[in-house]
Amino acid sequence: LIVVFVVLQVSVAVLLDNFVAASSEIKLDEENKEYEKLRHSEPVAHPLDPFLESLSKEFVDDKDLSERIHNYFVEIDEDGSGYISYRELCRQLRRLPFTPPIHITASDYDVITEEGTLCSFDDQLSPEGFERVVRVQLDSYIQQKSSDLLVMSSRLDPHMESVLQTMKMVVLNQQV
């Protein structure tokens, strides 16, 4: 009888320990999911940011960037006309697998095409115009990310701040 009582107590203790461990693991999983949800729900500063983020991580040099932009142009030019209209750009960018999905408004289109100055006839983008739009937007995106990193690093490491400031000046001087 004593053996049964001791075994019962040990069994309850083991079960309770397993229950507490499983509960802790579930709680941690839920916290991680909530963090990921918050991280992915941050507002996007510009509608092309998911596309630009992906592109900025993929290319290795200027030629590779041009090729990647051209490949996107071909993919977006759904009618094969050699030009991208506002409607084609909207439809095709929404279909690309970016998170969050890309949605371009008419006013966004006006901004990225510099009020149509980068467009050819009928307010459409040629391959050259599309490349110019993407490069201008990519340059702006990278500058913004660099500035964000500069602000964040100044709180963490003063030496890194000076390195990033120097890099920023080099980039700005190349544009002049």
Does this model's pTM top 0.95? no
pLDDT value of position 80 = 94
pLDDT value of position 16 = 82
pLDDT value of position 9 = 79
First-to-last CA distance in the chain?
Answer: 90
pLDDT value of position 151 = 72
Tokens coding 27: 């709680």
What are 142-167's pLDDT values in tens digits? 888 877 777 776 666 666 767 777 77
Tokens coding 1: 């009888």
Measured at the CA of 46, the angle between CA 127 and CA 30, to 5 degrees, comes to 125
Could you list the mean pLDDT of each consecutive 10-residue stretch along the chain, which spans 176 residues? Answer: 74 81 71 51 74 92 94 96 94 91 90 92 93 94 81 68 71 60
pLDDT value of position 156 = 66
Cα–Cα distance between 27 and 23 in angstroms, integer? Answer: 6
CB of 148 closer than 8 Å to CB of 130: no
Q: Is 48 exposed, middle or buried (0-12, 13-18, 19+ CB in 10 A)?
A: buried
pLDDT value of position 8 = 75
Question: Is the Cα torsion angle 153, 166, 111, 51 positive or negative in sign?
Answer: negative
What are 100-109's pLDDT values in tens digits? 889 888 899 9
pLDDT value of position 145 = 84
